[in-house]
Amino acid sequence: MAEVLLFHHAQGLTAGVRAFADDLRIAGHTVHTPDLFDGRTFRNIDEGVAYIGDIGFDDMREKGVRVADELPPELVYAGFSFGVLPAQKLAQSRPGARGALLLYSCLPISGEWAFGPWPDGVPVQIHGMDNDPIFVGEGDIDAAREIVEKVADAELFLYDGDQHYFADSSLPSYDADATALLTRRVIEFLNRV
**Structural domain count of the chain:** 1
Looking at residue 83, which CATH number applies to its domain? 3.40.50.1820
Separation CA 14–CA 6 (nearest Å): 12
For residues 28 and 4, the answer to whether their CB atoms sit within 8 Å is no
Residue 176 domain boundaries: 3-192
19 Cβ neighbours under 8 A, 6+ residues apart: 169, 170
pLDDT at residue 132 greater than cutoff 90: yes
121 Cβ neighbours under 8 A, 6+ residues apart: 153
How much of the chain is helix, strand and coil, in % rounded to 5?
40, 15, 45
Write the pLDDT tens digit of every residue in 69-86: 999 999 999 999 999 999
Q: Indicate the pTM of the whole model.
A: 0.97
In DSSP terms, 100 is beta-bridged to 77, 124
Write the pLDDT tens digit of every residue in 7-22: 999 999 999 999 999 9
> pLDDT tier at 176 (50, 70, 90 boundaries)?
very high
Taking residues 85-100, what's their average pLDDT?
97
pLDDT at residue 98 greater than cutoff 80: yes
Taking residues 159-169, what's their average pLDDT?
98
Percent of the chain with pLDDT over 90: 96
Predicted confidence at residue 111, as pLDDT, reads: 83
Separation CA 85–CA 60 (nearest Å): 9
Kindly provide the residue ranges of all beta strands, DSSP E only, lying in the chain, ordered along the sequence. 3-7, 30-32, 76-80, 99-103, 124-129, 154-159
For residues 98 and 193, the answer to whether their CB atoms sit within 8 Å is yes
Write the pLDDT tens digit of every residue in 4-58: 999 999 999 999 999 999 999 999 999 999 999 999 999 999 999 999 999 999 9
> pLDDT tier at 113 (50, 70, 90 boundaries)?
confident
Sign of CA dihedral 132, 27, 78, 44: positive
pLDDT at residue 155 greater than cutoff 80: yes
Predicted confidence at residue 130, as pLDDT, reads: 98
